[in-house]
Amino acid sequence: MGSLWIRKIIPLIIFLIALVTIPITQASANPDIKIGLAVRQTSANISINKGMYFLEIPLSQESALLNESDRLTIQINHRSQPTFSVVVGPFVRLGLFPFENEEGALKALIKINNLGFLGNIIAFTSIPTYVIEIGRFQDILEAEIFRLQLEAHFSGPVILPTLRNGVLIRHPEFEIFYPTFDSVPLSKIINIRPFGSGLLNYGTRTYRGSLGIFWSPSQEDFQVINELPIEDYLLGVVPSEMPDSFNIEALKAQAIAARTYALRNFGRFRRKGFDLCDTSISQVYRGFTAERPNSTQALIDTYGMVLHHNGDLAHTFYHSTSGGRTENVENVWGGLPIPYLVAVDSPFETASPHFTWVRNLTLPQITDMINRLLVSRGLSSVGNIRDIQVLRRGQSPRILTARIIGDRGNADVSGGFIRSALSLRETWAFFEFDGGPGRKVFTINASNNVVESRLGDLLDFSSIGNNQSIVIKGRESQENIPVRWQNVTVSGRGWGHGVGMSQWGAQGLAQNGWNFERILQHFYPGTIVTKIY
C-alpha cells in the first residue's frame, strides 16, 4: 500500500478505468448477491490474491488502493486491564499540523518511527481527528516520566486512559485503532472492493468479488460477507455440491437447480445482513477455490436458465442420494403439498457410495443420544431405551413417525428426530435388534398363513419390567427371550432429505442418455426450464 495509502477523493480517471474493466457478468440482469461466510468473528486475515482492490473504511469515510499481495488483519480489540497511554496529536516541531485524515497520521507515524519510537494510530471518527499512541503503561507515574521525555520532540504529549474497545486494522507497515462507543452505532467496518476484476484470500479460500466486514449489534464481534454477481457465485457452488467428474447433463441440471434456488431464496437472511450463507443450510459455496472446468462449462451453457412452475420460480431442493425413490415434501418437512415435490423413482443410483449403508450402535449409545436430543428440545428423558417402533412410513420407506419406548416413558417423534439423534444419513432406515423387541417371530394369521413379525410390534413393552423375559412357545419347544437388548444394526439407503432432485440419480439418468431438461422435469414434474437473462 505504502505511498498509495488513504485518499479522501479517488481520482475520476480511476472510476473511468474501473467502468471499462468491470466483468461482463456484472450486467444488471445478473444481480449481486451477498453470501455470509462467517459470523461472530473477532479477527480476520485478508490478502489480495490477484489484481487491485479498493479498501473502503466507512468508519472514517476514507479509501485506499490495495495492490497484489497486500495483507490486512482486522481484529476486535478488548484490552482487559486498565492502563495509561501517552499520545501525541499536533506535530509542530516536526513541521506537521493537526491532521484529520489517515494520510496525515501515517506521515506523522513514519517520522515518529524514524525518531526511534513505536506508535499506533488511533482514529476518533466522531470528531474526526487522529492521534498516535506511543507508549502504554500500567502505572501513571511511569507514563508521566515518559511523557516528559517526549516533550523534547513533540508539542503537548498527554496521558489518557487507554482505549480498551474497538476495531484494529493492521497492515505490515502500520496499524490503526478505531475506538468504539456505546453512543456510536457502527455497521460496516471495512469493504474491500475489486478494481476491475481480482481475487481475495480469506481464511483458507480464495474469492471473487468484494469482502465486507460488518459490525455486530453487540459490538462484540463481526461477520464477513462476500458480495458478487450470482453467476460468479454459482461458479463456486456447483462443484461444491456435485462432483465435477459427473456427466455434463447432470452438471447442467445442477447448475439450473442451484441458480433457481439462489434466486428463489434471495434475501432469506436479510436481517443478518446477507442473502444466503455458504453452508448446506443454503447451498455449499467454497468460492474461487472450488471452481472446476466442467462445472464452469455447465454454467456457461445454461446461463440465465431457471426452473419455473405456473410462472413462479420453483423450490429446487436437491440431495445426494435418494436410495431409489424420492419423497413428498410434506412428509419430510410438514406443511402443504407442493405439486412438483413428490415421490418419484430414481432407478440408476447404485453407483452412489451412499446407496446403502449400515450403522451399528449399542444400547447405551442409543439411550444417551436419544435422551440428549429430547432434553435439548425441552422434552423429558424416557430413560433406558427398550424399543423403537416405526409408526408410519412415507411414499418411500422413509420413517415419518416413530415411538421411542423407555423404562420411564414413551415419546412419539418424527423421522427427522431419529435421523438427527442417531446421526443417520437418511430416514430410509430399518432397525434390527439382537434380541428382545427386535427379535423376529413367526405367527399364524386368520387366513392360516405364516407371517414374519417383530416381537416389539406384537407386544406392549412399556408394561414389561426390565428383568423380565418373554416365553415363546412352539409346537415342540419353547424359548426365553430377555426383554432388554444390547445392540442394534440400522440399515438404510440414501443420503440427504430425499426431496426433489437426487444428484446421483441425475448422474445415472444422464449416463443413460437423458438431457438436463428431461432430468429436471423427472425430479420436479410439471416444471419448465426458462431463460430469464
pLDDT at 407 (0 to 100): 87
pLDDT of residue 440 exceeding 80: no
User: With the CA atoms of 46, 51, 52 and 56 taken in that order, what torsion angle do they form, in degrees rounded to the nearest 10?
Assistant: -40
Residue 466 is predicted with a pLDDT of 57
Side chain identity, residue 507: Q
What sign does the dihedral 196-199-201-207 (CA atoms) show?
positive
Which of 116-120, 316-320, 330-334, 467-471 has the lowest average pLDDT? 467-471
End-to-end Cα separation, the chain, in angstroms: 39
Rounded Cα distance between 101 and 89, Å, is: 12
pLDDT over 70 (residue 15): no
Query: What's residue 316's pLDDT?
Result: 98
Strands 32-41 vs 276-277: parallel, antiparallel or unpaired = parallel
Q: Which helix (H) or strand (E) holds 456?
A: helix 455-458
Q: What residue ranges do the domains of the chain occupy?
A: 81-163, 363-414+434-485
CA–CA distance, 265 with 276 (Å, rounded to integer): 8
CA 533 to CA 367: how far, in whole Å?
Answer: 54
Over the stretch 194-235, which tens digit does the pLDDT of each residue have?
Answer: 988 899 999 999 999 999 998 876 667 889 999 999 999 999
Sign of the Cα torsion 494, 296, 266, 220 reads positive
For residues 384, 390, 394 and 400, what is the CA-based torsion angle, rounded to 10 degrees? Answer: -30
Closest C-alpha to 194, from 369, 358, 77, 25? 25
Read off the pLDDT band of 2 (50, 70, 90). Answer: very low
Nearest to 493 by CA among 415, 433, 430, 432: 430
Task: Report the range of poorest mean pLDDT among 2-11, 399-408, 422-431, 489-498.
Answer: 2-11
Given pLDDT bands bounded at 50, 70 and 90, which one contains residue 339?
Answer: very high
Q: Residue 131 pairs with which residues in a beta bridge?
A: 122
Rounded Cα distance, 178 and 186, in Å: 11
> Partners of 52 in the beta sheet?
195
Helix (H) or strand (E) holding 281: none
pLDDT for the residue numbered 1: 39
Label residue 515 by pLDDT band (50, 70, 90): very high
> Where is 217: in which H helix or E strand?
none
| 188/328: higher pLDDT | 328
Contact between residue 210 and residue 194 where contact means Cβ atoms under 8 Å apart:
yes
- Of 38-42, 253-257, 439-443, highest mean pLDDT: 253-257
Residue 25: is its pLDDT beyond 50?
no
Measured distance CA(364)–CA(378) in Å, rounded: 21
CB–CB of 328/342 below 8 Å?
yes
What DSSP letter does each residue of 103-126 carry, written as one string? HHHHHHHHHHHHTT---EEEEETT
Q: How far is CA 374 from the centre of its chain?
A: 25
| Helix axes of 503-511 and 516-523: crossing angle, nearest 10 degrees | 140
- Helix (H) and strand (E) counts in the chain: 13, 30
- CA gap 531, 254 in Å, rounded: 15
Q: pLDDT digits over 43-85, tens only?
A: 999 999 999 999 888 766 677 788 898 999 988 876 666 788 8
pLDDT above 50: residue 124: yes
Domain 81-163 has CATH 3.30.70.1070: yes
